[in-house]
Amino acid sequence: MSILWMLIVGGIIGWLAGLITGRDVPGGIIGNIIAGFIGSWLGGLILGSWGPVVGGFAIIPAIVGAIILVLIVSFVLRKMGQKNNHGHHAK
């Protein structure tokens, strides 16, 4: 399986996760690809590998894992943003 195909499928998985959660994945296309790869790994850990496989990804667990990842990342970024904002207001 070509690396390019894996990158495309990974990117689509990350993009779908962002679309479903209504949150942008930081880092644009690269962020989507990374979210797709990590999401696929995370989904495989949680749900196992089942359902249709495209480009080496078990699509359903990969999307679920990527959604979880996007929610965690956006939560962490929001918390970090709040800390930074509070620091500026404390003066």
Buried b or exposed e, range 65-88, using 16+ CB within 10 angstroms: bbbbbbeebbeeeeeeeeeeeeee
pTM: 0.80
pLDDT in tens, 1-53: 588 988 999 999 999 999 999 987 878 889 899 999 999 999 999 999 888 99
pLDDT in tens, 51-83: 899 888 899 999 999 999 999 988 888 888 887
Q: Calculate helix-pair angle for 28-47, 3-21, nearest 10 degrees.
A: 90
Three-state DSSP state, 51: coil
